[in-house]
Chain A
Amino acid sequence: MARAATRPRQGRAVPTPRQARAATVPRQHTEPGSASWRALGTLVRLVVTDRHRLPEAQQMLRADLDAVDLACSRFRADSELSALASASADGRPHQVSPLLAEAIAVALRAARLTDGDVDPTVGAAMSAVGYDRDFEQIPSNGPSVTVATVPGWRRVRLDGRTLTMPRGTRLDLGATAKAWAADRSAARIATKLGCGVLVSLGGDVAVAGPAPDGGWRIRVQDVTGDPDDPPAGPYALVAIRDGGLATSSTMARRWRRGGDLLHHILDPRTGLPAAPVWRTVSVAAGCCADANAASTAAVIRGRAAPGWLARLGLPARLVDAAGAVLTVAGWPDESEATQN
């Protein structure tokens, strides 16, 4: 798909806003800049095409993530989501902040697009299987766990900022909030600073603004890490120019209960970790939130996932439990991409 910024101009056409922004940035004279740190319980990676813009970009991203964490964290006692969990115990409508409303709307959209595979009402089920605090604080081993009923996203109603949920519903926005936050911040930073921006939150990658030559090069692998570290396990190197790319994996965030290995991707129909058909699924889409919804749903859908992704036309890479790789819908074949 041709991007507006790269289309040849014809006649005296008025430049689009993106072209105008790009024209103000002498890309050939700029060097990229990057920074990494931890926030939202995960690794944050920020890359800009103009290193002189990095300090301001970093400041904007930190502020954005602080706000998202305060609104959406399931583990902070002072978060709006925690307060909502207490307040909504009565099953009555409650007003939420614009930021939390947007995050919940994105989560409900993901539920609708995936026919309920990605369901924000798994909060209680997630706690029941042991994921009830920041992952770094979860004991790596413990006694057997329980299964909790998932109320189901269809019983959640969001009208503007008015949220109504069944009594006792606990929301978990972890499946979608990072991807949405990456989209949101990448767009905001690119618009304000007029440079190309990549935001990765735990491997949920969103890009905005003019891409660097050759696109944004991203190494896809089982577990998100430092790009300067050597890869572990099967990987591929691909480039994207717009939208987002997300990876969901059962190889990250794992713990033991009752001697059994659990992971954090729950099937809302059972309240149990998804069956181990695909260990890692990566998807590219028009935004990171959609890519994440599709990659998470693919892990849960198991063997039906390749056909589903192909029908949707979403380029994807699926790695099965043994490490075999399957690509669909235009994702580069591994013989084309750099991989080991």
Chain B
Amino acid sequence: MSRAQRYTVRQAMAARERGRAKVRSATTAVTMASVVTAGAVALVLPGAAHKTAASQSGTSGSSSASSPGSGSSSAGSSTGSGAGSSGAGSSSNSSSQNSGGFSSGSAPSASSGGSVATSGGS
């Protein structure tokens, strides 16, 4: 990868952090080094995510943030020209919508013992 290409990708990632850019090039070569760089940038940017110190897998600490405040993104309520506006999902469960338009159900509760399913990436 050339220096110029690397710079282009870095520019794109920086612009993403500012939340305003799209990559215009259709064939910019990229390596994950750029992504890692962007991640490093994100991790050192000022901002208030309430989190505890990192810990090893299996013994992670935790904290909770019950109030809004950190972050500066919008609540996702833009009205574009996309015409898809039918309700998501077709669950028969009772739910309500919050101000962002997402449906809300009852909050999960802490549990113990065995589980009937797992939820992770796939």
Contact = CB atoms under 8 A, between A and B. Distances in A.
Contacts of B16: 267, 269-270, 272, 275
B82 A148 contact: no
A contact patch SS: mixed
B99 to A, nearest CB: 8
A63 interface: no
A138 interface: no
A90 to B, nearest CB: 19
Contact of B84 (A104, A117, A233, A319): A104
Contacts of B79: 112
A284 B62 CA distance: 18
B4 interface: no
B82 A149 contact: no
B62 A221 contact: no
A289 B120 contact: no
A275 B35 contact: yes
Interface string A217-229: 1111111111100
Interface stretch (A22-30, A53-61, A70-78, A235-243): A235-243
Given A159-B83, A247-B120, A335-B62, A304 B72 contact: yes
Given A191-B92, A315-B107, A338-B110, A200 B82 contact: no
Contact of B102 (A104, A180, A314): A314
B85 A105 contact: yes
B73 A301 contact: yes
A109 B86 contact: yes
A220 B60 contact: no
Contact of A157 (B15, B69, B72, B83): B83
A315 B36 CA distance: 28
Nearest to B63: A326
A88 interface: no
B22 A285 contact: no
Interface in B59-97: 59-97
A91 interface: no
Contact of A112 (B57, B76, B110): B76
B85 to A, nearest CB: 7
A131 interface: no
A89 interface: no
A251 B114 CA distance: 23
A125 B28 CA distance: 12
Nearest to B38: A275
Contacts of A277: 39, 42-43
B105 A242 contact: yes
Interface string B33-67: 11110110111010111111111111111111111
Given A218-B116, A221-B120, A312-B98, A158 B107 contact: no
Interface centre among B19, B67, B91 (most CB of A within 10 A): B91
A85 interface: no
B36 A276 contact: yes
Interface in B101-122: 101-122
Contacts of A286: 91, 93, 95-97, 102-105
A336 B13 CA distance: 38
Interface centre among A104, A226, A234, A275 (most CB of B within 10 A): A275
A205 interface: yes
Interface of B: 1, 9, 12-13, 15-16, 19, 21-36, 38-39, 41-43, 45, 47-122
Given A326-B51, A331-B64, 4 more contacts: A215-B109, A239-B110, A270-B21, A284-B107
8 cross-chain pairs, A with B, having the tightest CB-CB distances, nearest first: A260-B32, A286-B95, A249-B121, A243-B105, A108-B84, A286-B103, A307-B71, A202-B122
